[in-house]
């Protein structure tokens, strides 16, 4: 398969235009000996991930992830019975522990803790990253551990910081070099060594915390994901082919914390930044929230009555491309796409940036415009070429929970506060590159609204 790439300077100086140039192509390249195919544009990604979902459901056997998780756990697990077992358990846990009135109440309580912590800054400038990260991670913690952690729990906060750093390091040049030349492991320097040290720290911490939260466990009466996992382990204790193990439990817990924290956290941080940048959009959000809620706390039933809030959240997800290249996949068998043969085991990168900035589906895609998700009557409209949670068998298993979190945190935040930048200070809109795109650190003022 020949490459359709051209113009490296174009990609660096104008990534939006570059994405448009290659928006309908499928091309291959060699990443240090790793055969790779990049899918661009909604049509190509849908054809592969949706219509051939099983074929494109594998994970590449990258040396980095072999070293860190032995291709076990949940997110990096190779396609097969082990992945099916782990995903089924995770989905059931999210449905059982992550839905219902009780979970809604606990998320609403977390929203209050979050806003109360913001209120302590008394309208003065602060960096929201720490508070947003802690609040969002606590929702996932409720499913995994059955309880939240306070915002001053130093051990847990340190672990979250390490997770965040590893998300950046895993997409660094050193990580790509390590995948191409695994012998770099023997060099005493390089960011990959920090990545490995961090992974060891997290593994040890998770081992301790899992032991803590399994105290008082009653078999087959699970209180949270960890209990449910141990029940599965004991049920198949004599099955040597089963994939449930203590080690895979630790890997799975770590992956669920990262996946449940990074994307939603960065979505909310971008939302805060852009609404402070565009006061007219923020004012429309305030008006809709006030008219629907009339001072009471939001419920999930209100979601259908807030089309503009929904439009803003969707535009943030589209425009900011939180996971621009998705999570790398691999073909589980030979595939044929548009006349090209993609061999089994080929790494597949889905360029979601090319989908969300494709002029075939989006008018003026480089403009931040929530109205693109509204019809002429102001009703919310779903768009096909909107895939921030990916599609196919490996699509985000926590999508429903993430959508609930984003709506409740966003609505509660803007019901109580007006956001603005410190006088004379407008932050950079450039993103910090990693496996996810997060805004560069910024300060913001949250002014208590008078209603």
Rounded to whole angstroms, how far apart are CA atoms 45 and 7?
23
Q: Which of 258, 261, 257 lies closest to 226 in space, CA to CA?
A: 257
pTM: 0.92
Provide the sign of the torsion angle of the four alpha carbons 357, 363, 364, 367, taken in this order. Answer: negative
DSSP 156-211: HHHHHHHHHHHHHHTTSHHHHHHHH-GGGGGSS-SHHHHHHHHHHHHHHHHHHHHH
Sequence-distant (≥ 6) Cβ neighbours of residue 116 within 8 angstroms: none
Strand partners, 351: 40
Which pLDDT score is estimated for 6? 31
Which pLDDT score is estimated for 24? 54
Which superfamily is assigned to 8-448 in CATH?
A: Cytochrome P450 (1.10.630.10)
Which pLDDT score is estimated for 191? 85
Q: What are the boundaries of each domain within the chain? A: 8-448
Q: What is the chain's pLDDT, residue by residue, as a tens digit (451 residues)?
A: 333 323 333 233 344 444 444 445 788 887 777 899 999 999 999 999 999 999 999 999 999 889 988 888 999 899 999 999 999 999 999 999 988 888 899 999 999 999 999 999 999 999 999 999 999 999 999 999 999 999 999 899 899 899 888 888 888 888 888 888 888 888 888 888 899 999 999 999 999 999 999 999 999 999 999 999 999 999 987 887 789 999 999 999 999 999 999 999 999 999 999 999 999 999 999 999 999 999 999 999 999 999 999 999 999 999 999 999 999 999 999 999 888 889 999 999 999 999 999 999 999 999 999 999 999 999 999 999 999 999 999 999 999 999 999 999 999 999 999 999 999 888 989 988 777 899 999 999 999 998 6
Within 10 angstroms of residue 294's Cβ, the number of other Cβ atoms is 8
Rounded to whole angstroms, how far apart are CA atoms 300 and 304?
8
Which pLDDT score is estimated for 172? 81
Which pLDDT score is estimated for 345? 93
């Amino acid at each position: 398969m020949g490459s359709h790439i051209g113009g490296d300077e174009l990609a660096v100086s104008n990534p939006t235009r570059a994405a448009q140039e290659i928006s309908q192509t499928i091309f291959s390249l060699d990443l240090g000996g790793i055969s790779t195919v990049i899918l661009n544009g909604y049509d190509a990604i849908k054809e592969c991930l949706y219509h051939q979902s099983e074929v494109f459901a594998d994970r590449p056997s990258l040396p980095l992830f072999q070293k860190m998780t032995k291709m076990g756990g949940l997110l990096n697990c190779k396609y097969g019975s082990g992945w099916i077992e782990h995903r089924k358990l995770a989905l059931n846990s999210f449905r059982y522990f992550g839905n219902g009135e009780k979970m809604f109440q606990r998320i609403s309580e977390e929203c209050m803790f979050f806003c109360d912590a913001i209120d302590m800054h008394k309208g003065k400038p602060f960096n929201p990253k720490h508070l947003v990260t802690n609040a969002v991670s606590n929702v996932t913690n409720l499913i995994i551990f059955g309880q939240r952690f306070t915002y001053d729990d130093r051990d847990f906060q340190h672990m979250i910081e390490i997770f965040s750093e590893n998300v950046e390091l895993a997409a660094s040049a050193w990580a790509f070099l390590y995948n191409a030349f695994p012998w770099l492991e023997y060099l005493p320097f390089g960011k990959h060594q920090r990545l490995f040290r961090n992974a060891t720290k997290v593994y040890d911490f998770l081992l301790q915390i899992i032991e803590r939260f399994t105290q008082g466990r009653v078999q087959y009466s699970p209180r949270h994901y960890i209990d449910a996992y141990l029940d599965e382990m004991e049920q198949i204790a004599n099955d040597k082919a089963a994939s449930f193990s203590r080690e895979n439990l630790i890997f799975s817990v770590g992956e669920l914390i990262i996946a449940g924290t990074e994307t939603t956290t960065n979505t909310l941080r971008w939302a805060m930044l852009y609404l402070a940048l565009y006061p007219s959009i923020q004012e429309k959000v305030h008006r809709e929230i006030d008219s629907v809620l009339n001072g009471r706390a939001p419920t999930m039933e209100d979601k259908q009555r807030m089309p503009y809030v929904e439009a803003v959240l969707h535009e943030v997800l589209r425009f900011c491309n939180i996971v621009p290249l998705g999570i790398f996949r691999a073909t589980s068998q030979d595939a044929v796409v548009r006349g090209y043969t993609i061999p089994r085991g080929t790494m597949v990168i889905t360029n979601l940036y090319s989908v969300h900035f494709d002029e075939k589906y989006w008018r003026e895609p480089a403009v931040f415009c929530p109205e693109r998700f509204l019809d002429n009557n102001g009703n919310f409209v779903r768009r096909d070429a909107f895939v921030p949670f990916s599609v196919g068998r490996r699509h985000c298993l926590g999508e429903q929970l993430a959508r609930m979190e984003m709506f409740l945190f966003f609505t509660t935040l803007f019901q109580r506060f007006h956001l603005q930048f410190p006088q004379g200070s407008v932050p950079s809109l450039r993103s910090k590159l990693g496996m996810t795109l997060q805004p560069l650190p910024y300060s913001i003022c949250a002014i208590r609204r008078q209603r």
